[in-house]
Amino acid sequence: MKAMAHLLLLLPLVALTHGYCTQQKLFADIVMRDGVPVLEEGPCKDESGGSRLAGEQWRESGCMLCTCGETYISCCSIGGRAVNFAADCEAVMDVDTCRYSVVKKDDPSQTCAHDMKLLLIALLFCGLVPMYHAAVLQPAVQIISRGCSSPTGLVPIGASWRNAKCETCICGANYIPTCTLKLSIPVMYDSDCELFLDTKLCVYKVVKIADHSISCPYRGMTYPTSK
């Protein structure tokens, strides 16, 4: 009861800091024992396919701290969130340090005044998730399945999709996606022009360097290979 009371105190803090957690149930693998196939729960797997022991913690991409439980993996956001900055500024995350910097939109070399909303509570919450299965955790936990993350949700191995950078991605082994740019590229254009990737249409255009609203002629195209 005392531990549950502590947990109830932490839940509002998670909401205040805008942290979030996810939980992935471990799947049973089929193994052979004495010539008989039996179900056995496999070890935790990180996003690169490596095995993790029960109780082990590690950091995944997207600034998530993950913990390997006996029957599931729980991951919680870490770092912070930039708030209260001017409209002509934007927050940029450094994925290596999980920290935000706020810079001018028209000149990223200039920093802007801002406040930080810390997500350190996620570290505590993530450590508590393996200890409790109470229903009070369910609003903060999203049950997910195995698959590669795509714009439309999780997809199985072999599925393909196009990401925000117009790359074609394929869900590979261990649910690790491989993404490559497969677009036709204009060539042979004037030196005062440059390539511009229209991410809405996913096509390359040739435009004036000084004014992207002005199109330039080009005299050839290179086409993507079939692989």
Residues in the chain: 227
For residues 134 and 193, state if they share a domain: no
Find the range with the poorest average confidence among 10-14, 26-30, 127-131, 134-138: 134-138
Per-residue pLDDT of 14-73, as tens digits, reads 333 345 677 776 655 555 667 665 555 556 778 887 778 777 788 887 778 888 876 778
Domain range holding 210?
Answer: 185-222
Q: What is the pLDDT of residue 157?
A: 82
Least confident of 13-22, 95-104, 201-210: 13-22
Whether residues 136 and 60 fall in one domain: yes
Nearest to 149 by CA among 53, 75, 41: 75
The reply to whether 48 and 138 lie within a common domain is yes
Query: Do 118 and 136 form a contact (C-beta atoms < 8 A)?
Result: no
The whole-angstrom separation of Cα 114 and Cα 107 is 16
Asked if 48 and 125 sit in the same domain, the reply is yes
Measured CA to CA, the distance from residue 201 to residue 25 in angstroms comes to: 38
The confidence score (pLDDT) of residue 142 equals 33
Confidence of residue 133 (pLDDT cuts 50, 70, 90): very low
When pLDDT is averaged across residues 190-198 and rounded to a whole number, the result is: 93
Q: Is residue 104 part of a domain?
A: no
User: Are residues 125 and 68 part of one domain?
Assistant: yes
Tell me which of 6 and 218 has the higher pLDDT.
Answer: 218
Contact of 169 with 157, CB cutoff 8 Å: no
pLDDT value, residue 39? 54
Does the pLDDT of residue 95 top 50, yes or no?
Answer: yes
Listed residue (65, 76, 60, 69) closest to 41, CA to CA: 69
Of the candidates 97, 29, 24, which has an alpha carbon nearest to the alpha carbon of residue 67? 24
Q: How far apart are CA 138 and CA 156, in angstroms?
A: 25
- CATH at residue 6: 2.10.70.10
Q: In total, how many domains does the chain have?
A: 2
pLDDT confidence tier of residue 165, bands split at 50, 70 and 90: confident
Q: What pLDDT sits at residue 94?
A: 73
pLDDT of residue 219: 93
Cα gap 99→114, rounded to integer Å: 13
Residue 45 placed within a domain: yes
Give the CATH number, domain containing residue 214. 2.20.25.590
